[in-house]
Structure 1
Amino acid sequence: MITKRQGIIVWFHQMKHVKHLKRYGHMIHVSKKLKYAMIYVDQERFDDTYESLLKLSYVTKAEPSYKPYIKTDFESKVVDKEKEYDYKMGI
């Protein structure tokens, strides 16, 4: 069974705190220059994890990812010419 996950972007003061952030979820990416980490957590535990990250003294801010709530089914605005005209009509 596939579990639904959601990302959290955590901004911190120093790089030495990165190893402490690993216990909160699956760490995907860490930027040394901009001092942030991207962590994925299960959606059932998202609220608790998000609040606990905000309470940490070394976390500047945390931002949730809104990707699970965005519609990802795209439709084409360009009309397909083959579907517009039926060339096999007279045969």
Structure 2
Amino acid sequence: MQTKKKPSGLVTPSGLLKLVVHAAMGVAMGLAFALILMVMDPSGIATLVQQEGNQVAAVGIGTLMLTFGIGAALTRAVFMMTEDD
């Protein structure tokens, strides 16, 4: 007799909602981190943005937001796959 496999937690609607929530949280954290870097200016980022224009700021902030968002979503996916029910 074959046992019926339980579907992965990632496939369910609640699992997808959890992934989206964690991705959104990561994007918000990335935005906050980028803004803190701009305000504190520890390595001259604000000076570079003033010289080069707003496109440099948009690309830098977008990169940080995307990186944090993907990292948070992947972390949640790993936690969901290793969860014991």
Which band: TM-score by shorter chain? under 0.3
Bigger Rg, which one: 1
TM-score by length of 2: 0.24
More RCO (CA 8 Å, sep 6+): 2
Which protein is richer in helix relative to its size?
Answer: 2
